[in-house]
Amino acid sequence: MKQMMDFLTNYGGQLLLKTWEHLYISALSVALGIIVAIPLGALLSRGRKVSDVVMRIVGFLQTVPSLALLSLMIPVFGIGKAPAIAALFLYSLLPILRNTYAGLTNVDVLYADVAKGMGMSSIQSLIQVELPLALSVIMAGIRISCVYVISWTTLAAYIGGGGLGDFIFQGLTLYRTDLLLMGTIPVTLLALIIDFLLKKLEQAMDKRVRG
């Protein structure tokens, strides 16, 4: 207990800063993933012939080792947060894209027919009818993406991006268990808390749609 208090006294300010950096990098990466993946998933649901090709390309990005992808971003974005956000953005795409596509393609055709019968255009039907019905499925993809990205953001420290990974890399370098734990425990807690909150939001949306 005394060691923990001493650590917080010495590193408390850094811990808050690293936690903020970690959340900033994770949130921005997922936000960019949402901005790209949801419209792309909606577009693919309208043109299913090319969906397999696009899904395979995005899926291939998931197979590239994290450190390798981060390193590949350095010549383009340099060192720091930018290459980390770019790499994590690519990793965030697949779960959101896959769930957006699945959610929209599984919406009962009857709803689209009713919307069409009411005089709605294809875009109006998508925005006002199909997306709300698929929202809980899309939220599940966002939740999965958030948990993955929060975990992978620890690697941002490898290229000078900051975040809680700094403590982990310092702990490995200096053979200090306290630094390792002060990096690992907050990351785990962040992932669990975000997963819990988004799960509740997903359930609320699902309940609303069913209602």
- At 211 the pLDDT is 61
Q: How confident is the model at residue 116 (pLDDT cuts 50, 70, 90)?
A: confident
Cα separation, 186 vs 87, whole angstroms: 22
Q: Choose between 1 and 100: higher pLDDT.
A: 100
pTM for the whole structure? 0.88
Q: How confident is the model at residue 8 (pLDDT cuts 50, 70, 90)?
A: low
Cα separation, 137 vs 99, whole angstroms: 6
Q: Name, of 6-15, 16-25, 107-116, 124-133, the range with top average pLDDT.
A: 16-25
DSSP string, the chain: -HHHHHHHHHHHHHHHHHHHHHHHHHHHHHHHHHHHHHHHHHHHHH-TTTHHHHHHHHHHHHHS-HHHHHHHHHHHH-SSHHHHHHHHHHHHHHHHHHHHHHHHHTS-HHHHHHHHHTT--HHHHIIIIIHHHHHHHHHHHHHHHHHHHHHHGGGGGGGT--STHHHHHHHHHHT-HHHHHHHHHHHHHHHHHHHHHHHHHHHHHHHHHH-
- At 193 the pLDDT is 93
Q: Delimit the domains of the chain by residue range.
A: 26-210
**Each residue's pLDDT tens digit, 139-175:** 999 999 999 999 999 988 888 888 888 888 888 888 8
**Each residue's pLDDT tens digit, 49-98:** 788 888 888 888 888 888 888 888 888 888 888 999 999 999 999 899 99
- At 20 the pLDDT is 92
Q: Which CATH superfamily is domain 26-210 in?
A: MetI-like (1.10.3720.10)
